[in-house]
Structure 1
């Protein structure tokens, strides 16, 4: 998200999370003011290979409830960040997934992250606008809940409904944009109404495991 009026428009749909990108090379880079949002929406800062100190500063400045690490952050880095910030702030570690992705590499991160996010491997740390082969996720054996990301739009709804995976949340971005950082509220509403019952069921099923 980038523009105050649009932030409020999308906020009226009551998403669980709302992302603000603090990576200066991104076309969606955010350096403005976040208007007051309903408390159930978790303001999420998106960072790429940033320092612990700078992440902590953004958390304090914008009152973030979650951070999404989109770079090459190590286990030690995540541990240091976890020690530095409030324990209530969620840490979401992003992994770019390709055919050769090693899911065993996730194990050391389980103790220092609240969630994983799987995105499409591409030229950019994120926002490449394409999906990856979700069959790869059948190799996911961790009990850690995860976000599904990577070029997800309206046309992906049937495939998402057929997934039998412990998905905690769906991360959407570029396919719902009028321009970088400016979201189409009507398209988001359509996606939400069509998919949300399935996501709620997936969350319930996961919590019962």
Structure 2
């Protein structure tokens, strides 16, 4: 099971969390976020994939951030269309930036219509399901994971949305189902303040996921 720690902001904290070897670390390039990242990413272990999080950004600006920060994945957290994802994927291929992963986010409520996912399957590598809230992400609340029982696809996905240490038993329970959960994504519930992660909490969570899913 893969793990992602998102909303990183401060170099020393990035290095501390990086020493725990999550599979992904997320950096938010949306200026309205309290976790907006505009610094530099220190050298991390090569096993960690750096993810740029974008909200309704242009293809050109995404590519600029990818190249400047040596990103291995982009997370599209806005209202990006199928055509946008295809254009981005094509530009990555043209610039020989493949295999940069494209993660398309969908905000989920109890009445989520899973049929909207089908056109995106060919233009992204993963889906990410987050809780529908006032902000594109980082709302700190979970959605009812039972809605995922209606998931109609084999496309692997990241599970996100207000996951804290208290949810680890529920996380491990869903990992034992037939759902194609690819990664667990944590953010605000593991923070001392926006963008500053509690390293011990992160360590405890990664250990529990690793231990309980092996």
Measured on the aligned residues, the alpha-carbon RMSD in Å equals 0.9
Partner of 1:17: 24
**More deviation in 99-108 or 7-16?**
99-108
Partner of 1:93: 104
The question of 1:192 aligning with 2:199 is answered no
* 1:7-86 pair list within 5 angstroms: 7-85=14-92, 86=97
* 1:67-146 pair list within 5 angstroms: 67-85=74-92, 86-146=97-157
Shift of 1:77: 0.2
- TM-score, structure 2 normalization: 0.92
Shift of 1:141: 1.4
1:181 to 190, 195, 206: 195
Shift of 1:197: 3.5
Shift of 1:166: 1.6
How far apart in 2 are the matches of 1:124 and 1:22?
14
Which structure has more relative contact order (CA 8 Å, sep 6+)? It is: 2
Partner of 1:161: 172
Which consecutive unaligned segments of at least 5 residues does structure 2 have? Answer: 1-7
Q: Which runs of 4+ in 1 moved over 3 A?
A: none
SS in 1 for 2:186: coil
How far apart in 2 are the matches of 1:38 and 1:160?
26
- TM-score, structure 1 normalization: 0.94
Shift of 1:198: 4.0
Deviations 1:22-57 (A, max 9, x none): 000000000001100111100000000000000000
Shift of 1:150: 0.4
